[in-house]
Amino acid sequence: EIVLTQSPGTLSLSPGERATLSCRASQSISSYYLAWYQQKPGQAPRLLIYGASSRATGIPDRFSGGGSGTDFTLTISRLEPEDFAVYYCQQYGSSPTFGQGTKVEIK
């Protein structure tokens, strides 16, 4: 099973600041199979990024993804109030797994 480790566990930032979230895989994975989700309290997750760097429909361009091999990142260029949430990476291999999540909270 591929383990995804996200860091940091919590990111405390102010609106307007840049957020950089990390997702590290226990073994190399194809960028094709790496996705990111946002989850707000009481809601189902929402697809943000697929294929490591492609934004899903309706996702603002302040969200960007990158990386390859074992190291992937999600960047939010300027945090808006609605961006404070928990973010998960997922690898979609033969046995998909999720990272444990990074909480982006208001400083």
Question: Would you tell me which residues interact with another protein (CB under 8 A)?
Answer: 1, 31-35, 37, 39, 44-47, 49-54, 56-57, 88, 90, 92, 94-101
| Min dist. Cβ of residue 16 to another protein (A) | 28
Q: How far apart are CA 27 and CA 1, in angstroms?
A: 9
Complex with another protein: residue 37 or 84, whichever CB lies closer: 37
| Min dist. Cβ of residue 14 to another protein (A) | 25
| Min dist. Cβ of residue 5 to another protein (A) | 12
Q: How far apart are CA 24 and CA 11, in angstroms?
A: 17
Complex with another protein: residue 31 or 64, whichever CB lies closer: 31
Q: Which two tokens stand for residue 65?
A: 């993804």
Q: Is 93 helix (H, G, I), strand (E, B) or coil?
A: coil
Cα 88 off chain centre by: 5
